[in-house]
A and B are shown apart, each in its own frame.
Chain A
């Protein structure tokens, strides 16, 4: 949930580019007057103009990486940088986030209490040591044990591991955990060289040795992280780029200037005013793509006033998402009704417009709950965009019988105030997790991070959540997750506001850029074309 990239973005529902189409046109699309011919697919484009090997890509990135050690880093968005140097055990379809083979060629989950990972053969780390089952085991064990590990919770269900052959690793689970596979598509699945981990000790993270498409050349703090092609990459045709550099520029206007001046090729996650500038710049293309993330009000549903379902539902009815979208995003966003993004494979499409704006109904529900007007405290990030958006919401809530008492602080502080039960609600964003079931575990389970009072979920919900992790068949899982999604929606355990797409600006030489639903783009299939 805590993401250090700036909030913000103006984007259009109608202008959202399908990534496949984006690939097809080599991302050479301006946002204004965007027209995508139907039926044009990547294959067609590849015929016209295939990807070329070579060249260097410079990506502007808003924050210095916290570390290049995937298991101790803390900034969600830096996964983009880590993916240059590390392979993940499991890859995902960028558009639906369904699991795809990564370092693990396949996996067997027929026994619910264990996962068998079949690894790719002949993969080596950048230091020449083999990336085999022993190495994976070493990494996962480190993720469970390291004092500063941020993937401990992700790997909690792994009880022990057995290396059956260099390419076969069996994970014994303490309980069925079908979410684990997709955990391996993020930090937890990034595998470092055990040799480097052992020899570098605490200094690992300033250095990074993975098996990924590029090798780390140098990391100059708050300046640049440079990578060069891994000539021995196991996916023979990849990567296309000889080198990729991430320039760290926190100021979004400056970042955009760097791309306009041709000093960089891509700037990620533009905020409102910069999008307009980017659209006006002839040399740039603006890419708008959906992500898992949404703007969201977290509720402490374990104590008054939000322990009452009627109050929570009233709050959901009190928000005019369309007007919010118009004011905060120039009408270029999408109202949100659940924690799962509409593009996600498991999302139940029928859960739309479940709490249409209705201040009278909100007030009636409040009355039923015994409140003439309800005062509550809410913390939120103090950056300008977040503050303005919270003000829009507060204004709507006041009209529906609520009196929100706003407390602004830097993001981590605002979150801490909520987790420490100093406020009733938190205005922030839900950045999404690769496995849909995680959304509900993180937020509503008894140990859930954003369940500050550690209140057990209602038995029915808890049973549904457990069931969603105990089945492996995709269709069955989909049904099981839909049940959870519906229950959470009925119980109104939080207030989803709008889905937040990613808006990037690219120079014209960038081709094959394909952002993903994670909102953390990878560049292994990107190439450049210089005229």
Chain B
């Protein structure tokens, strides 16, 4: 139990500088990107005086460090501010968009695991066979296949031609109508999952091959265990750490992958929100989303680490 507490404590301590550094870096980077949100806000036919007034109104005329300090101070008090562009509260925006993206992310990982695990294991167990070659080929294809292209293909076939799924939109919020939200997320989730499937299949294949070559597996064979029992009970258990680590990485990666897919399916998720905000330099939104993303990634890593030491007690010592 002590090791769990130590890991959590250490992670929380690490979290603070990471959050500070990430938000500071993003804020700084946005300053370097050419562009001025005040120009956008001033609208058509704006006079320089109006642009200047708007700059003052939003404190954009203050030094960068002062602006960042102000944001941080407010954030520490639970106030992430309002979007420059739409005036909506950032926390409200995030609460609305994040569940949509999370749903796609979670569904895509489930799909990826459901497909990637079996084919990866089959390839490992039939190493060198035609199945193995095919899985390797499909994996390379999946990684190479751009998700936006697959997304468009899925939309035009399954939504427009067959009319099985909606072509655009996220449907009702997940809390209002779960089935509707899931139904709207199927195609986007498949599009996002394509590269994850390949990743999982490849990793599972090599992990499985590694495990099956271990001496204890030979011992199990010698003990007379059925191959199925060896794979499912002993092989899989030893692969848990690999798979968990992989899932952790995939969750972080999926958050990025949804940006493009959300645009194609017109899903008002957090990906399209940050893409819009980045283009128009809507600082409060960008900072808020970065903060939440960092927290999610740290949180996921923490959970993965805790699960890993549960499955593999050897890790507790390190």
Contact = CB atoms under 8 A, between A and B. Distances in A.
B34 A409 contact: yes
A202 interface: yes
Interface string B257-285: 00000011110100011001001000000
Contacts of A148: 41, 50, 53-54, 57
A254 B266 contact: yes
Interface residues of A, number: 50
A17 B245 CA distance: 60
B276 A64 contact: yes
Interface in A134-152: 147-150, 152
Given A66-B85, A410-B35, A254 B45 contact: no
A427 B204 CA distance: 54
Nearest to B56: A147
Given A206-B88, A221-B93, A257-B159, A412 B40 contact: yes
B152 interface: yes
A308 B214 CA distance: 84
Contact of B160 (A64, A205, A260, A415): A260
B140 interface: no
Interface stretch (B105-113, B164-172, B216-224): B164-172
A150 B167 contact: no
B43 interface: yes
Contact of B264 (A248, A254, A410, A416): A254
B83 interface: yes
A125 B308 CA distance: 62
B11 interface: no
Interface string A256-292: 0110110110000000000000000000000000000
B39 A416 contact: yes
Interface stretch (A73-81, A309-317, A504-512, A513-521): A73-81
* Listed residue (B42, B163, B168, B276) with the most chain A CB atoms within 10 angstroms of its CB: B168
Interface in A174-188: none
B86 A64 contact: yes
Contact of A261 (B48, B54, B86, B168): B168
Contact of A247 (B54, B88, B159, B169): B169
Contacts of B43: 2, 66, 73-76, 150
B166 A263 contact: yes
B3 interface: no
Contact of A221 (B44, B86, B169, B264): B86
B163 to A, nearest CB: 8
B88 A221 contact: yes
B96 interface: yes
B36 interface: yes
A261 B160 contact: yes
Given A221-B268, A251-B264, A257-B159, A74 B40 contact: yes
Interface in B44-90: 44-48, 50, 53-54, 57, 83, 85-88
Q: Is the interface of A mostly helix, strand, loop or mixed?
A: loop
A56 to B, nearest CB: 15
Contacts of A150: 42-46, 50
Contacts of A257: 155-156, 159-160, 167-168
A253 B155 CA distance: 11
A40 interface: no
Contacts of B41: 66, 74, 148
Interface string B142-160: 0000000000100110011
Contacts of A65: 86
Given A64-B276, A147-B53, A431-B44, A412 B35 contact: yes
Contacts of B39: 412-413, 415-416
A4 to B, nearest CB: 8
Nearest to B273: A222
Contact of A258 (B57, B152, B169, B273): B169
A466 interface: no
Nearest to A152: B50
A305 B167 CA distance: 52
A119 interface: no
A488 to B, nearest CB: 18
B167 A263 contact: yes
A431 B44 CA distance: 10
Contacts of A258: 167-169, 266
A446 to B, nearest CB: 12
A133 interface: no
A153 B54 contact: no
Contact of B268 (A76, A248, A415): A248
Given A250-B263, A257-B160, A206 B44 contact: no
A153 B279 contact: no
* Listed residue (B44, B152, B268) with the most chain A CB atoms within 10 angstroms of its CB: B44
A340 B167 CA distance: 40
A220 interface: yes
A377 B240 CA distance: 61
A150 B273 CA distance: 25
Contacts of A322: none
Contact of A263 (B57, B97, B156, B169): B169
A1 B268 contact: no
Interface string A169-203: 00000000000000000000000000000000011
Contacts of B97: 222
Nearest to B85: A66
A348 interface: no
A203 B87 CA distance: 7
B148 to A, nearest CB: 10
6 contacts: A75-B43, A221-B268, A222-B276, A251-B264, A255-B266, A257-B160
Give the top 4 A-B pairs by smallest Cβ distance, nearest first: A74-B43, A261-B167, A223-B268, A258-B168
Given A66-B41, A67-B86, A148-B50, 7 more contacts: A3-B44, A205-B87, A221-B96, A222-B272, A247-B266, A255-B266, A261-B159
